[in-house]
Amino acid sequence: MAAAPPEPTAAPLHVAIVMDGNGRWAKRRGLPRTLGHRAGVEALKRTVAAAPALGIKWLTVFGFSTENWSRPAAEVAELMALPKRYFDSDLTRLEREGVRVRCWGRREGLSPELVKMLDEAEARTAHNDTFFLQIAFNYGGQADIVDAARAFAAEVAAGRARPEDLDEAMFARHLSSRDAPPTDLIIRPSGEQRLSNFLLWEAAYAEFVFQDVLWPDFSVDHLKAALEEFSRRDRRYGGTPADGVLAAG
């Protein structure tokens, strides 16, 4: 008798998205790159609105990386303005609908006005627990690991911890993602197939879905397609697969 097909994987609790392709979207239309980034904000709004009904509880998006500072000054200025554009239009709604906002990444280098805005978004939504939105801004996976290592080293220096106390669980408690559950699914639109320094620690057993769509065109259907692909994955976390053949992943 043929073996029964494996049960579909449950919907991912925590989804992360690399919001990539804004510049190329604008270039293909003969528009300034700044307009591509603004169109990307609209894609973010659509995704945040659709995610809870699809079973997603946590959504982490890559807004600005530590490497993006090397872009032209005008584009960096536009990227710095995007949180204001998003929160000016949507923060009241997010607060009302039970969304808790968390902003990951370094505050150093950001303007005082932007830091104040990020802090306000976190404070105004701190009581919410219906849905969790993490915005990785001035964030890099390597930088986050370095910051975590520095934080633990400071605890050792202060006598609050010993080097031998460090294990994976303790280290994870020093990362930006410390309050979030493990990342289940990472989606990257735009046709690129790399992490680009996003969630390097958290990606250990995440599933990846790459889609050939530029972020401003990312729709609810694209999100559903990624979740359907995720549901067909056999997540083993290094254990024995369904067919009994040992594998590393």
User: Can you tell me the distance from the alpha carbon of 32 to that of 38, in angstroms, rounded to the nearest whole number?
Assistant: 10
State yes or no: 162 annotated in a binding site: no
State yes or no: 138 annotated in a binding site: no
3 state SS of 127: coil
The residues assigned a catalytic role are 20, 68
State yes or no: 37 annotated in a binding site: yes
Q: What's the half-sphere exposure (Cβ side, CA atoms, 13 Å) at 172?
A: 16
State yes or no: 100 annotated in a binding site: no
State yes or no: 24 annotated in a binding site: yes
State yes or no: 97 annotated in a binding site: no
User: Can you tell me the distance from the alpha carbon of 111 to that of 89, in angstroms, rounded to the nearest whole number?
Assistant: 20
The closest of 218, 224, 225, 227 to 40, measured between CA atoms, is 218
State yes or no: 196 annotated in a binding site: yes
State yes or no: 89 annotated in a binding site: no
Encode 50-74: b = buried (16+ Cβ within 10 Å), e = exposed: bbeeeebbbbbbbbbbbebeebeee
State yes or no: 195 annotated in a binding site: yes
State yes or no: 236 annotated in a binding site: no
User: Can you tell me the distance from the alpha carbon of 36 to that of 24, in angstroms, rounded to the nearest whole number?
Assistant: 8
- Amino acid letter for position 21: G
Check: CB of residue 78 under 8 Å from CB of residue 37: yes
State yes or no: 33 annotated in a binding site: yes
User: Can you tell me the distance from the alpha carbon of 93 to that of 87, in angstroms, rounded to the nearest whole number?
Assistant: 9
Maximum Cα interatomic distance, the chain, rounded to a whole number of Å: 67
From the CA atom positions of the chain, what is the Rg in Å?
A: 19
Check: CB of residue 181 under 8 Å from CB of residue 14: yes
State yes or no: 29 annotated in a binding site: no
State yes or no: 30 annotated in a binding site: no
Binding residues for Mg(2+): 20, 207
Binding residues for substrate: 21-25, 33, 37, 65-67, 69, 71, 188, 194-196
Binding residues: 20-25, 33, 37, 65-67, 69, 71, 188, 194-196, 207
